[in-house]
Amino acid sequence: MSETLEQLIERLRQVEAQVEAAFAARAQAHAAEHGVERDAAGRPCFKADALRRQRAHRKGLGLARVPWPTLLTMPLIYGMALPLMILDLSVSLYQLGCFTAWRIQRVRRADYVVVDRHRLGYLNPVQKLNCVFCGYGNGVIAYAREITARTEQYWCPIKHALKVKGSHERYAAFQAYGDAEGFVRSSGAYRERLRRGE
């Protein structure tokens, strides 16, 4: 007997949970091996000897060895900081207003915007700055995507007629394109799941 789409999605979620658990176990083993501890606030920090070993691997800035095309692109790269900050502020205000009015669970920004690689002793100041930029940029985009995905689930949980590459995880449970009865019948249930934080 073939599985229904809902059963396949549930099986996929179970496998994703197993993968996450395996990643967490690997990270815990890796942390123990490399001297990572947690401070009182739960942030990762390193034992003094681990940090000393890391610093031994740090490279100098070496700006003279940076290829000139890379140097020329630096204003383009760091110029994205302002649009990312505007996006961050905009989607935060958007969800504060809209999600509160709709009575649905807000997205926790801290789950997406994680800036912690600057604490690594083996990175030089430029590498740390790059890691802060990438962690912030990718986090803001993921944060904005989840806010938009919840908005889509609230207003129009309908699949597209054309294949969508890289769709968000909520998309798989949306109604089929053209299924008017299913859309009308299930719209309230989609919104209720958002209110429950699903």
The overall average pLDDT reported for the chain is: 87
pLDDT for the residue numbered 94: 98
Radius of gyration, alpha carbons of the chain: 22
Confidence of residue 91 (pLDDT cuts 50, 70, 90): very high
% of the chain exceeding 90 in pLDDT: 45
State residue 83's pLDDT score.
97
Q: Which residues fall within 8 angstroms of residue 33, CB to CB, at 6 or more apart?
A: none
- 80 phi/psi in degrees, rounded to 5: -75, -10
